[in-house]
Amino acid sequence: MHRIGLIVADNFQVLALSTLSVFEFANLVVGEAFYQPTVYSGRGGPVRSSSGVSIDSVALSDEVVVDTWLVAGVLMPASQPASGETINFLQTTARQARRIAGVCTGAFVLAQAGLLENKRATTHWAHAQSLKTLHPSIRLDEDRIFIIDEAIWTSAGMTAALDMALGMVEKDLGETIARDVAHRLVMNQRRAGGQTQHSQMLALAPRSDRLQRALEYARNNLNKSLTVEILADAVHLSARQLSRLFRTETGKSPAKAIEGLRLEAARLMIEQSRLSLDVIARESGFRDRRHMREVFVRGYGVPPQSLRSGR
């Protein structure tokens, strides 16, 4: 049996508890209690979340034996350092575990314990700069969903912790089990650690119905030519009107916005399929594989094949 320990503290973000559902459903998929999750805290007893919901916990002690530690984050991590009991436990007993993970801003707790010294790590994008300032030795990548550096795992904010937990299930039980767990949790997609924290559609934030329709048309037809004239015709505007709308609402030209959608589509296909890079380049609308690579390096700082090799 693989024991999972989730460490919480007062004002913890309640969504961290959802990571335990990943392991619960993994047990259902494999048909046995492979994982045994337990909630811990420095002193034990009830712990109040930032939303006001309390949960009972077991006190940390030297006798506790756990395979995987998950450390939950709090809403204001820079102003709420972890307790002495928790830090001491992480620096001593927890180091014997197979892996230790920071959930969202739980990375601040790992950093406080010295576990992220010269390690690659990530955290919620809104707190990344603060973590970098407090702990400059961390090799922080603030745009990744989750990062694994030897036995240390860290995730981005909120729902990214589900992706990290699924990554653990995949390491333990294989890709097929992890996919089945994601399906049972009704997750829209399984995101690999190399994926960015930001969605292109959210980043573009179209306000008008016509621009939203133009972007939806583009996203559904990425493998076709998408000139501004074609997009404008699809939403019954002139090319000039649509270009002005793009600039006003997104700050981007139609060409740049479409490039971002192509890049995101290509990344998802690389992460979720076994299609060749040539096919992916064609399906996402790039001129060829070399063009896709150029845009990937410019947008993500890594070539497309690096996402596939990390799986």
177 & 236 share domain: no
**pLDDT at position 94:** 86
Nearest to 101 by CA among 22, 31, 198, 200: 22
Domain holding 276: CATH number? 1.10.10.60
Three-state SS at 48: strand
pLDDT tens for each residue of 104-121: 999 999 999 999 999 999
In this structure, the chain runs to a length of 311
| Confidence band, pLDDT 50/70/90 cuts, at residue 268 | confident
- Are 43 and 137 in the same domain? yes
- What pLDDT was estimated at residue 144? 81
Is residue 193 one of the residues assigned to a domain? no
Chain segment 275-305, per-residue pLDDT in tens: 999 999 999 999 999 999 999 988 878 888 8
Q: What's the structural domain count of the chain?
A: 2
Last residue of a domain, one of 143, 160, 184: 184
Beta strands in the chain (DSSP E): 2-7, 35-41, 47-48, 54-55, 58-59, 68-71, 99-102, 120-121, 139-140, 146-149, 152-155
Q: What is the pLDDT of residue 202?
A: 54
9, 70, 74, 104: the catalytic one is 104
Section 81-98 average pLDDT: 92
Q: Is residue 303 part of a domain?
A: yes
pLDDT at 310: 45
Q: Are 114 and 214 contained in the same domain?
A: no
Verify that 35 and 176 share a domain, yes or no: yes
Q: What is the pLDDT of residue 311?
A: 44
Q: Average pLDDT, stretch 133-141? A: 93
Angle at 96 between CA 92 and CA 99, to 5 degrees: 115
Among the residues of 18-159, which ranges form H helices? 18-30, 84-91, 106-112, 128-134
For residues 113 and 230, state if they share a domain.
Answer: no
User: Does residue 277 form part of some domain?
Assistant: yes
Q: Within a domain: residue 120?
A: yes
Last residue of a domain, one of 130, 157, 184: 184
User: Looking at residue 155, which CATH number applies to its domain?
Assistant: 3.40.50.880
- For the segment 3-28, the average pLDDT, to the nearest whole number, is 96
Token pair, residue 113, equals: 């314990």
**Whole-number mean pLDDT of the chain?**
89
Q: Is 70 exceeded by the pLDDT of residue 133?
A: yes
> Phi and psi (nearest 5°) for 22?
-60, -45
State residue 203's pLDDT score: 60
In a domain, 190, yes or no: no
**Predicted pLDDT of residue 190:** 54
137: confidence class by pLDDT, cuts 50, 70, 90 = very high
Same domain, 175 and 254: no
Same domain, 60 and 166: yes
Residues 48-79 have pLDDT tens digits of: 999 999 999 999 998 888 999 999 999 899 89
Same domain, 53 and 151: yes
| Last residue within a domain, chosen from 152, 184, 216 | 184
Query: Is a pLDDT exceeding 80 seen at residue 84?
Result: yes
Residue 10 belongs to a domain = yes
104 belongs to the catalytic site = yes
Amino acid 141: pLDDT: 85
* % of the chain at pLDDT higher than 70: 93
Q: How far apart (Å, rounded) are the C-alpha atoms in residues 190 and 181?
A: 10
pLDDT value at residue 286 = 95
Does one domain contain both 152 and 226?
A: no
pLDDT reported for residue 196: 52
Domain limits at 95? 2-184
* Domain identity same for 20 and 147: yes
Does residue 195 fall inside a structural domain?
A: no
Is 176 or 308 the better-scoring residue by pLDDT? Answer: 176
- The per-residue pLDDT for range 228-239, each reduced to its tens digit, is 999 999 999 999
pLDDT confidence tier of residue 206, bands split at 50, 70 and 90: confident
pLDDT of residue 306 exceeding 90? no
Same-domain pairing of 291 and 167? no
> Do residues 24 and 162 share a domain?
yes
Position 194 in a domain: no
In sequence order, what DSSP letters do the residues of 174-202 get, joined into one string?
-HHHHHHHHHHTT-S-PPPTTSBS--HHH
Looking at residues 185-211, what average pLDDT do you find?
Answer: 65
pLDDT in tens, 142-184: 778 899 999 999 998 878 899 999 999 999 999 899 989 998 9
**First-to-last C-alpha distance (Å) of the chain:** 25
